[in-house]
Structure 1
Amino acid sequence: MAKATKKQALGRGLSALLKDPANDIQSAQDKNADKVVGSIVELDLTSIEMNPYQPRTSFNEEALRELASSIKELGVIQPITVRKLEFNKYQLVSGERRYRASSLIGLKTIPAYIRIANDQESLEMALVENIQREDLDPIEIALSYQRLIEEIDLTQEEMSDRVGKNRSTIANYLRLLKLDPIVQTGMRDGFISMGHGRALINVEDTDEQLDIYEKILSDKLSVRETESLVRGKKSASNTTKKAKPTLPTYAKEAISELSEQLNSSVSVKINPKGKGQFTVPFKNKEDFERIVKLLNGEK
């Protein structure tokens, strides 16, 4: 108990230090920065603004009230994380549920870790910490992964190291973003699970995907039943497709010869009337120029 009291007193002492305009801390090199950055500090809730990079976009009101009741009884056990913007002004990095719940019961201050970071670092911290610590829905997690890739320029391998998840797990979340928006909304609202979503990814036709989604809701299909339904649809679709026309011998021979000469996988398409085209893929500009030279008879 003595340790807790000492910790709270330290937080109040640091809070007073941060309210001294003559010794305002703006960077890690400033005087007393080492005492504040990374420490737990009691901050006024009114001095903290929302983080525009927060991946969570919806909050379960009942769960929020339950958290507020817990905080009223036990206090904020896990401090939020903020970054310092300017004198007595901070931006939330992670812990928005704790912040909202504290406001709900009328708390004036909240324990917080303070970090000094630029916007990109703040974004990365917000996304990574929320993926690890918050109960985000599958689509919110997928969007967070996508933002880490696009805005922080992380590869899936780098992201795997940062968030402690296998690359295959990350890839499965990202694939959910290929689903129709209606299906994504259904997942976010809890009407279907991530397992249902993963099964629906295998349905390429949007109308058919939505038909199955509606059937999941109306018949309350399990994930296994959904997977079985999707397999049956794909099997029926495959049997109704026309058999792929066989290429004539001259085309087969030409494909083999061109592929060898150009060192590229040449493909040929021919319609029933005998008209067609062949395609030569290339990796980059240099490879394109190499193929052009070979087609022109140059070495």
Structure 2
Amino acid sequence: MPKRKTDFDLPTLDDLFSTQEERDEAKLDKIRDIPLELIDDFPDHPFHVRDDEDMQQLVDSIKTRGVLTPAVLREKEDGRYELVSGHRRKRACELAGLSTLRSEIKDLSRDEAIIYMVESNFQRSSILPSEKAFSYKMRLEAIKRQAGRPKAENGVPVGHDSLVGKSREIIAAQSTDSNTQIQRYIRLTHLIPELLDLVDEGSIKMRPAVELSYLDYDYQKDVLEEIEVTQSTPSHAQTIRMRKMQDEGTLSTMAIREIMSEEKPNQKERIILRGEKVRKLIPKAVPIEQTEDYIYKAIEHYNKFLSKKRSERDSR
């Protein structure tokens, strides 16, 4: 028996019994200039809007030619509008000094709007891991709700339920990422923000990041502190050990410190000075930003002292 389309895919009666010209006119009727003050951003929008060089180019384009592709809005019950697609265009209009945004008003449910928002933003040429992570999670939850599954099933962790797996397969069939890779991205949503930032920067790779996502919040904070101290990130093998130790109940702050202090094959030898041991030896009047210079001068002075001692010993 062929699979039934969702209501989101079914054509309306107007579509079936109207000409293309009539449909085009109807669409134009839904395109209006909406005041920016009436437009609310999409709740928990996972894609960043940056005031970078690309944004400035978009601002210049809008100043010259206007908004060529209308944003997509859905009307809210209070008469305001929710921005589904076009967050960069809205920001560019603000920077360009415009008061309205050329928009198409679509009749979308909450879950249809989530799916539309994610799909439209995935057309971007560059997407950060964190953006993929939260957008995949939002879309997965929307698809599960559309399927009418009980709330108890919706709460099952990713990767531990066949229904969740089927929802990921639906997403994978429509994206360049595999089912497994989508599962990895969604795991990134369990990282503390500081570690997720390092993933976006490329400092932490995907697989180590996934392993770290299974650590408790406090242990993730310990890992972050060690990254700052050692100026190096954990390898995949090290994160696997941390996760295994947590599962066995043997992970601790000291264990994380010992693992992170190990020298990795591609890591140059580093000298590590821990703040709690060094700071008490430095006068309180020395600002934190001058600590390194103070330590260097102290070591230099100590070397001169040792050299003088050796000279006195040799002269006897």
Match of 1:121 in 2: 112
Alignment of 1:1-299 (within 5 A): 29=14, 34-37=24-27, 41-46=31-36, 49-53=39-43, 55-56=45-46, 58-62=48-52, 64-84=55-75, 90-133=81-124, 136-153=127-144, 155-184=167-196, 186-187=197-198, 190=200, 192-193=201-202, 195-196=204-205, 198-203=207-212, 204-206=214-216, 209-217=220-228, 220-221=231-232, 226-227=234-235, 230-232=236-238
Q: TM-score, length-normalised on structure 1? A: 0.52
Residues 202 and 81 of structure 1, relative CA distance in 2, 3 Å threshold: same
Percent of paired sites with the same residue = 24
What secondary structure sits across from 2:123 in the alignment?
helix
Deviation at 1:120, TM superposition (A): 2.6
Residue 93 of structure 1: CA displacement? 1.3
Aligned with 1:61: secondary structure? coil
Unaligned runs of 5+ in 2: 1-11, 148-166, 249-316
In the TM superposition, residue 195 of structure 1 has moved relative to its aligned partner by: 4.4
Aligned to 2:159: none
How many angstroms apart in 2 are the aligned matches of 1:33 and 1:165?
35
Tell me the matched-pair count: 207
Instruction: Give the Cα–Cα distance (whole angstroms) in 2 for the partners of residues 237 and 44 of structure 1.
Output: 51
Q: 1-side partners of 2:73 and 2:94: how far apart?
A: 16
* Contact 2:194–2:224 under 8 Å retained in 1: no
For residue 175 of structure 1, what is the amino acid of its counterpart? R
Q: 3-state SS of the aligned residue for 1:117? A: coil
CA distance in 2, matches of 1:169, 1:139: 13
C-alpha offsets along residues 5-26 of structure 1, whole Å, 9 cap, x if unaligned?
xxxxxxxxxxxxxxxxxxxxxx
What letter is aligned with 2:205? H
> 1:274: which partner in 2?
none
* 1:152-187 Cα shifts (integer Å, max 9, x gaps): 317001112344532233112112123245423x34
Structure 1 counterpart of 2:209, one-letter code: L
Does the aligned pair in 1 maintain the 2:72–2:84 contact within 8 Å?
yes
Kindly state the Cα deviation for residue 111 of structure 1 after the two structures are TM-superposed. Answer: 3.6
Whether contact under 8 Å (1:47, 1:90) holds in the other structure is: no
Say if 1:65 and 1:217 are closer, same or farther in 2 by CA, change over 3 A.
Answer: farther
Cα RMSD for the two superposed structures: 4.3
Query: Which secondary structure does the structure 2 equivalent of 1:116 belong to?
Result: coil
Instruction: Give the equivalent residue in structure 1 for 2:256.
Output: none
> Is the CA contact 1:53–1:126 (under 8 Å) kept in the aligned structure 2?
no
Residue 37 to residue 134, structure 1, CA distance change in 2 (3 Å): farther
Match for 2:42: what amino acid? P
1:121 Cα deviation after fit: 1.6
- 1:198 partner letter: R
Post-superposition Cα deviations, 1:63-91, rounded to whole Å, max 9, x if no partner, equal 544532343345434432223558x9643
For residue 95 of structure 1, what is the amino acid of its counterpart? G
Match for 1:69: what amino acid?
Answer: D
Aligned residues of 2:215 and 2:243 also touching (Cα < 8 A): no
Is the Cα contact below 8 Å between 1:138 and 1:173 reproduced in 2? yes
Structure 1 spans left out of the alignment, 5+ residues: 1-26, 243-299
Contact 2:74 2:82 in 1 (8 A): yes
Label 1:214 to 1:84 Cα distance change in 2 as closer, same or farther (>3 A): same
The normalised TM-score by structure 2 is 0.50
1:213 is paired with a residue of what secondary structure?
Answer: helix
Distance 2:98 2:47 in 1: 23
> What is the CA–CA distance in structure 2 between the aligned matches of 1:129 and 1:193, rounded to whole Å?
25
Residues 51 and 217 of structure 1, relative CA distance in 2, 3 Å threshold: same
Cα–Cα, structure 1 residues 195 and 78, in superposed 2: closer, same or farther, change >3 Å?
Answer: farther
Say whether the 8 Å CA contact 2:198–2:204 is kept in structure 1.
Answer: no
Answer 1 or 2: which has greater strand percent.
Answer: 1
**What is the identity, as a one-letter code, of the residue corresponding to 2:136?**
Y
